[in-house]
Amino acid sequence: MKPRHKRAALIGGGLAALGLAAYLVLNAFESNLVFFFTPSQIASGEAPKNRTFRVGGMVKEGSVKRDNLTVAFVVTDTAKEVSVSYTGILPDLFREGKGVVAQGKLGDDGKFSATEVLAKHDENYMPPEAQHAVDEAQKTIKTLK
Amino acid sequence: MIPEIGHFALILALFVALALGLLGVIGGQQGRDDWMALARPGAQALWLLTAFSFGCLTYAFYTNDFSVSYVAQHSNSKLPGLYRVAGVWGGHEGSLLLWHFMLTSWMLAVSIFSRQLPDAMVSRVLGLLGLVAVGFLLFMLITSNPFLRLSDVPTDGRDLNPLLQDPGLVFHPPMLYMGYVGFAVPFAFSIAALLNGRLDAAWARWSRPWATAAWIFLTLGIALGSWWAYYELGWGGWWFWDPVENASFLPWLVGTALMHSLAVTEKRGLFRNWTIVLAITAFSLSLLGTFLVRSGVLTSVHAFASDPKRGVFILLFLSVVVGGSLTLFAMRASKVRSGGSFALVSRETFLLVNNVLLTTAAASVLLGTLYPLIVDALNLGKLSVGPPYFNSVFAPIMVPVLLFMVVGSFARWKSDSATELAKRLSPVGIASVVLGSTAPLLAGAWSALAALGLTLAFWIVLASLLQIYQQLRNTVNWKSTPISYWGMHLAHVGIAVCVVGITMVKGYETEKDVRMVIGDTVSVGGYTFRLTGIRTEAGPNYHADVGDVELIREDRVLRTLHPEKRIYFSSTMPMTEAAIDTSLVRDVYVSLGERLEDGKNPAWAMRVYHKPFITWIWGGCLLMALGGAMAALDRRYRKKAASFAATPVKNGALV
């Protein structure tokens, strides 16, 4: 094999590998980006049906109801609310009145069924998305006034 | 008084590092013996000052000096002694001091184990490392001084985050930082060689043990972190593709590529440019990791924007390092001549292919890590890239890496015949496919992914065994085989062990969340758990609900497990402590959730797991690290510079 052919083979192989990697990346990216919506955005119908996304805000005081391992609670951004249900063990820092982020799908009845509930390990810590939801809602309330 | 002395030692260290950097680099460039002679003592003085400063902070922690702001935030008088010491690196400022301490420790090591190198090279390398130290010292003194005092002294500290109160975390950060910072050494060697204009086999040989040493620490650090997350976070995961984890995994991937590329550069004089780029990238990714973890961008891009001092400093530092070294590289790259030629089928090709694949894997992980941050920073919305992305991109890239790893170690340098190579490898290939596709049947359900994973593991192990057998048959005395040969095979087998662990856990783990009252049982993976009691217990700085759970197999009680739910006094936040029964082939794992019902017979949420072969994941990492240590300790790295002139190329391993 001539050096020129060899170089061509190497470059061709490299491009093929890169192309494959790019294909894998784009393919996986497309289907695995998890978007975030605030309860207000859900209320105004911006959130998709039957696609996984995240919702965040505060767990409304007095809204947590348990039935065996299934928990129902309300997430609020101080303006709008969304009902969430989850089956399984909640993270240690799940508390009424504290920040929470849930990942799952929105049903046709407007209820959110979570497959994952995230809360980080610091009692004063507010998940950034939850904080963002409350801030956005507060901003809207202020501009409306 | 002690904290002020520590602070003062840091300021002195800054001046020493500055002097070392300027005199070392300029002295090395101009061949001034009097300046070059200062490099080694300068590095040693820098280490002494840093160690002293680190000691001062440790002392402040040990004596509960809450007048120091950093101590007050990360310690508490009830904290046990070991965790008070670990508290030194429990927060931002102390972590940086540890980072810097590690950097000077590497410099100390270079100054001691560099007798065989020319003085000008040592002077440049230590000088460059001194300049890196200047960056970190400035960062600490300007934005993150751990010795700041509080005017209003609290009676007690805020306590160390309970998650960090664990023996695993005492060792995890030092190991990880040692690895991160270690890549500064091959980086400095590369830049020094660029400055010198001589990128020869000797340069590669000098860099190799250092790159390997850094890689060993990083491997151990990542493994410890993963193990810690597994048993301490309480929910049985061992890798989350969290940005913090990715930050340590990126330099590992590039570092792995670097080690192998250095081998080719040393043995064959090829890939010099590529090796330099990898050395620069590995260190830059270490700095990027520091930026991600330390600037607060991960918590919130906008929080970072409101207090950007720290982040901006690291970004500036990063751009100086990356920009400066790439500019230098661009200026010198044309002078770097390639050493020789190689055929399409040769060990060089397979090493190059794997190098490219590893870098591609690193790039895709980097994309997934940074993308949400960039989108958020541009106010384009909030999103996250979850583990499915990483799994579906990373795994397909790693399959050919594992395949070619073996082909590369079988192929000859320079040129090999494809048919010859296929003939040598086919028995291994057939045996591993047969074994790999039948083994899942023993585990229960057959699955294509499990078969693929196990086939690859057999492929690697059988190939190594075959090569070792041939090596022993062909040499008269087994002692004549260099220790690095054994190191390479041990590390490769470590990869296989790790692959077995990942495959088995992914394919066959079972998990159940249940509600239990005392007397209830739950079965998972052939084991039965019976809750026999829940009691309260007091620890030194917490109180806990402790469950008694009998682990039963075939009607026999194996042992009683004690999962805990702890409430720490200082923070009132609960912490789940899982109880794990470990054996070589499986872990069974139980953790205590919340109390669901009060009353006479309270009900608890519990989670039970059966995880086959999970310890193999970390065992494999340990083998890799051991193999790396054997490779780095090879006798020929300690030979005098004079004997470097001729580097014979053997058909043996990539040693």
pLDDT tens-digit series, residues B443-463: 878 999 999 999 999 999 999
Pick B1-165's CATH classification: 1.10.3470, 1.20.120, 1.10.260, 1.20.272: 1.20.120
Instruction: Choose from B358, B385, B393 for mutation: most chain A CBs within 10 A.
Output: B393
Map out the domains of chain B as residue ranges.
Answer: 1-165, 417-508, 510-613
Residue of B nearest to A9 (CA): B344
CB contact (8 A) between residue B384 and residue A54: yes
Cβ–Cβ gap B353/A27 under 8 Å: no
Q: List the beta bridge partners of residue A105.
A: A113
Q: What is the DSSP string of B594-605?
A: EEEE-SSS-EEE
CA distance A119 to chain B (A): 12
Q: How far apart (Å, rounded) are the C-alpha atoms in residues B462 and B459? A: 6
Give residue B455's pLDDT.
97
Mean pLDDT over B79-86 rounds to 87
| Residues 6+ positions from A41 with CB-CB distance below 8 Å | A47
Put simply, the answer to whether A14 touches B303 (Cβ < 8 Å) is no
Q: Report the residue from A88, A93, A123 with minimal CB separation from B513.
A: A88
Q: What is the pLDDT of residue A145?
A: 59
pLDDT at B299: 63
Mutation for B interface: A24, A37, A132, most B CBs within 10 A: A24
B349 and A132: CB-CB below 8 Å? no
d(CA B435, CA B445) in angstroms, rounded, equals 15
Residue B476 phi, psi dihedral angles, 5° rounding: -70, -50
Q: Which of B193, B189, B245, B231 is nearest to B214 (CA)?
A: B189
| Cross-chain CB nearest to A32 (options B163, B341, B385) | B385
Chain B positions touching A11 (Cβ under 8 A) are none
pLDDT value at B654 more than 70: no
Question: Across residues A61-84, what is the average pLDDT?
Answer: 90
Q: Are B270 and B340 in contact (CB under 8 A)?
A: yes
How sure is the predictor about B335, in pLDDT bands with cuts at 50, 70 and 90? Answer: confident
pLDDT at B294: 73
The answer to whether B53 touches B46, Cβ cutoff 8 Å, is: no
Q: What's the pTM value of the predicted model, to 2 decimals?
A: 0.92
pLDDT band at B76 (very low <50, low <70, confident <90, very high): confident
CB B489 within 8 A of CB B392: no
For residue B638, pLDDT over 90 is answered with no
pLDDT digits (tens, 9 = 90+) for B296-324: 677 655 555 556 777 788 889 989 999 99
Tokens of B71: 């101590």
The answer to whether residue A125 scores a pLDDT higher than 60 is: no
Per-residue pLDDT at B468: 93
Residue B642's pLDDT is 44
Q: Which comes out higher in pLDDT, residue B174 or B645? A: B174
- Out of A32-46, B8-22, B486-500, B609-623, least confident range: A32-46
Q: Mean pLDDT: which of B89-103, B235-249, B591-605 is highest?
A: B89-103
Closest CA in chain B for residue A28: B389
Which of B299, B513, B574 is closest, CB to CB, to A89? B513
Report the pLDDT value the prediction gives residue A78, as an integer from 0 to 100.
86
Using a CB-CB distance cutoff of 8 angstroms, which residues of chain A are in contact with residue B356? 14, 17
pLDDT exceeding 70 applies to what percent of chain B? 95
Tens digit of each residue's pLDDT (9 = 90 or more) over B256-282: 999 999 999 998 888 888 999 999 999
How large a percentage of chain B has pLDDT more than 90? Answer: 62
**What is the predicted pLDDT for the residue at A123?**
47
Average pLDDT over residues B107-129: 94
Q: Closest residue of A to B395, CA-based?
A: A24
Cα distance between residue B599 and residue B39, in whole Å = 72
Q: Report the percentage of chain A scoring pLDDT > 70.
A: 90
Residues of B in contact with A31 (CB under 8 A): 388
* A–B CB contacts, 8 A cutoff, strictly below: 102
Which of B370, B384, B542 is the best substitution to test chain A (most A C-beta atoms within 10 A)?
B384
SS3 track for A28-97? HHHHHEEEEECHHHHHCCCCCCCCCEEEEEEECCCCCEEECCEEEEEEECCCCEEEEEEECCCCCCCCCC
Of B389, B575, B605, the CB nearest to A28: B389
Chain B residues within an 8 Å CB radius of A131: 300
Q: Which range is most confident: B336-350, B437-451, B457-471?
A: B457-471
Tell me which residue in B234, B300, B393 faces A28 most closely, judged by beta carbons. B393
Q: How far apart are CA B35 and CA B18, in angstroms?
A: 13
Alpha carbon of B50: minimum distance to chain A alpha carbons (Å): 32
Contacts of A54 in chain B (CB under 8 A): 384
CB contact under 8 A, B397 and A68: no
Calculate how close chain A gets to B132, using CA atoms only, in Å: 33
The count of other CB atoms within 10 Å of the CB of residue B205 is: 21
* Residues of chain B neighbouring A129 (CB-CB closer than 8 A): 382
pLDDT in tens, B528-585: 999 999 999 998 888 899 999 999 998 899 999 999 998 888 776 788 889 999 999 9
Helix (H, G, I), strand (E, B) or coil at B566: strand
Question: With contacts defined as CB-CB under 8 Å, which chain B residues touch A9?
Answer: 344
Residue B355, pLDDT above cutoff 50? yes
The pLDDT value given to residue B646: 39
Element (H, E) at A3: helix A3-32
Residues of chain A found within 8 Å of residue B515, distances taken between Cβ atoms: 68-69
Q: Which residues of A touch B573 (CB under 8 A)?
A: 92-93, 121-123
Q: Is the pLDDT of residue B109 over 90?
A: yes
Q: Which residue has the higher pLDDT, B299 or A7?
A: A7
Q: What pLDDT score was predicted for residue A144? A: 65
A92 neighbors A100 (Cβ within 8 angstroms): no
The per-residue pLDDT of chain B, averaged, comes to 89
- pLDDT, position B598: 81
Residues with Cβ within 8 Å of residue B441, at least 6 apart in sequence: none
B491-518 mean pLDDT? 94
pLDDT at B634: 87
Pick from B353, B357, B389: CB nearest A32: B389
Q: Are B213 and B632 in contact (CB under 8 A)?
A: yes
pLDDT digits over A24-57, tens only? 888 888 778 888 899 999 998 888 888 889 998 8
pLDDT band at B650 (very low <50, low <70, confident <90, very high): very low
Distance, in angstroms, between B361 CA and closest chain A CA? Answer: 8
Chain A residues near any Cβ of chain B (below 8 Å): 1, 3, 6, 9-10, 13-14, 17-18, 21, 24-25, 27-29, 31-36, 54, 66, 68-69, 87-90, 92-93, 121-123, 128-129, 131-132
CB pair distance less than 8 Å for B386 and A32: yes
The residue ranking higher by pLDDT, A143 or B459, is B459
**Are A34 and B385 within 8 A, CB to CB?**
yes
In this predicted structure, what is the pLDDT of residue A99?
Answer: 84
Structure-model confidence comparison of residues B247 and A140, the more confident one: B247
pLDDT of residue B649: 43
Task: With beta carbons under 8 A apart, name residues in chain B contacting A13.
Answer: 353
For A73-98, give one letter per residue: b (16+ CB within 10 A) or e. Answer: bbbbbbbbbbbbbbebbbbbbbbeeb
Question: pLDDT grade, residue B645 (50/70/90)?
Answer: very low
Q: What average pLDDT does this structure show over A4-19?
A: 79
The band of B425, judged by pLDDT with boundaries at 50, 70 and 90, is: very high
CA distance to A10, B255, B450, B647, per residue, from B486 (Å): 31, 20, 28, 20
Which residues does chain B have within 8 Å of residue A21's beta carbon, measured at their own beta carbons? 360, 363-364, 393, 397
Nearest by CB: A89 against B572, B575, B607:
B607
Closest-CA residue of A relative to B232 is: A121
Q: What is the mean pLDDT of residues A99-127?
A: 79
